[in-house]
Chains A and B, each alone.
Chain A
Amino acid sequence: EAGVVQSPRYKIIEKKQPVAFWCNPISGHNTLYWYLQNLGQGPELLIRYENEEAVDDSQLPKDRFSAERLKGVDSTLKIQPAELGDSAVYLCASSSHAGDTQYFGPGTRLTVL
């Protein structure tokens, strides 16, 4: 069974530029999560989807971040414009249902110059 797929794996951009990350969860998983992880810290939730509905986006900086999960399968996270402080690893995870074990993708390492 294929795991969570993310692309790109690495991205380097200049500040004020837009960037987008893509995630394809494990087949059949209803719940999809986007996390931000800084070095030496645990993952911090940005947004959680149940099917195509965003049910927890309280930690998403909505002035510059947006996300979508059309058709309740794959998802895109966008930052526009990027700031220096956005440099981090962006992890996508999925679970069968909310609260179940989460399975993580390899992450996208973003560097903003």
Chain B
Amino acid sequence: GQNIDQPTEMTATEGAIVQINCTYQTSGFNGLFWYQQHAGEAPTFLSYNVLDGLEEKGRFSSFLSRSKGYSYLLLKELQMKDSASYLCAVGLGAGKSTFGDGTTLTVKP
């Protein structure tokens, strides 16, 4: 089976930095996606990592270590609008992918 682990909930303060971890054990791997999902809305794409290392995109960065089965999403200069669920998804190959259950981030003033 496919297994993706993320913390269920996290809380952080506006203006701070938060790191959301994702570990995976899957039968295949050809990339890792992060999606943001606000309550009652659809997931929206944030980042994609296929090689080891850090990908930076504005306030958001994503890191991947394939040997460790580990990724994290780093959010800097947190804003209230960043309160959402963050989904880690692994591409399994052959067009398949599997999603974690998401981490609900609450940003407090």
Which residues of A come within 8 Å of B, CB atoms? Answer: 4, 31, 40-45, 48, 50, 55-56, 91, 97-99, 101-107
Q: Which residues of B lie under 8 Å from residue A50 when comparing CB positions?
A: 95
Among B42, B43, B48, B91, which residue has the most Cβ atoms of chain A within 10 A?
B42
Contact B43 A99 (CB under 8 A): no
Bound state CA distance, A5 and B99, in angstroms?
22
A11 CB → nearest B CB, Å: 15
Interchain pairs with CB closer than 8 A, number: 56
B55 CB → nearest A CB, Å: 13
- Secondary structure of the A contact surface, majority rule: loop
**Please, which residue of chain B has its CB at the minimum distance from the CB of A4?**
B42
Which residues of B come within 8 Å of A, CB atoms? Answer: 4, 8, 30-31, 33, 35, 41-45, 48, 87, 89, 91, 93-102, 104
Among A48, A50, A99, which residue has the most Cβ atoms of chain B within 10 A?
A99
Bound state CA distance, A31 and B96, in angstroms?
11
Q: Which residues of A lie under 8 Å from residue B93 when comparing CB positions?
A: 99
